[in-house]
Structure 1
């Protein structure tokens, strides 16, 4: 039956409905996300973007800047909607174990500022409590590199945002799937290498193009990538795996 992967964000959650094969599963015919009766203050207070290939985003804009009781209330509303979706699909929920921190890879500086002080753990705790109450299973997973994996492997493939793309490896990790470094990722790395070499030649200056830091990243990746697919899943997910260097490379080349 698979899992419902969940990536938490300051303004809501991204969900990926994933089948037992580890691939996104289209939403059932007639699937809808009902508007919560508890929210009725203003238009756009509750927003849902549904991708037919099994991804959706539930956005409550006020959640990002509200405080105190209001934020707690909105988190409760969000938790109810997310758990209701999982129950309707008959799938357990996979989410990040935020005791170990939150993995982020977003090139939007405004979003990063907003996320830096957001209590992500409150959302996961609220969802877990609601799920237990409703009889829906929850499986927390090691959070390392989920956004990076989503960025390199799934964002472009499925035409979704990085948050949707991160929800997919979260669900796959709950099912025990490994994340291989594919031919497409190697081609993407080579394209970044060529782009930065060109930038270094055309825009001289400290901190631009192929810097010493970036050269070091490429050297580390040249050593790690040939070995990556032969490693155990736990070695692939370790902090200083190839995904760590790929994250730094993405941030350096933005």
Structure 2
């Protein structure tokens, strides 16, 4: 790729292996200089170089190693492009946020990359639209994306170059999944014959968990006297008999 001096370069390489490979990037064969904050390694095998300098020009490749073997990718060239200087340019998004599914407490990294010459006055603005609404309805809200790990709802995120009257946006969907956990457990009861018993079990998670009832370790099948309601969270046993005595 060729980018303007001071711009952003982005290389991506995908690899599979068991166990998971250790990844390093090289420029002109030696490893990239450690401690240079301009070089960022992102998930999914992405190398991002911000504030590109003439010293960054060269050949880049990815080296993946595990106990089985080491592999080197093909080389990609980074060059400096020259363009006529302009004070203003219509905004352009080189790489926008991708759809992403993670679990709670994981880190979500969302990209929105513009050419350096398009970021003269203000940085990119981020906004979100919570799940369940119409993303075209205009009710996007600015948000601190650093707090998204605390939510369990689906979010549609959008980045937008803020300063130019011409609007360019890119959006992706972030789904934050949560493992099932019980909010309410069924309580033991003692009932006379012929009466009825109710057990309640409530669980939450994303996606919404499916509840299955067991009787003495075997799946309980609904019948005329066994009723499951409220998305299987309530179990009703009617006309109790001796055979209903069990662990549920």
Q: TM-score range by the shorter chain?
A: under 0.3
With the length of structure 1 as denominator, give the TM-score of the two structures. 0.27
With the length of structure 2 as denominator, give the TM-score of the two structures. 0.28
**Higher percent of residues as helix:** 1
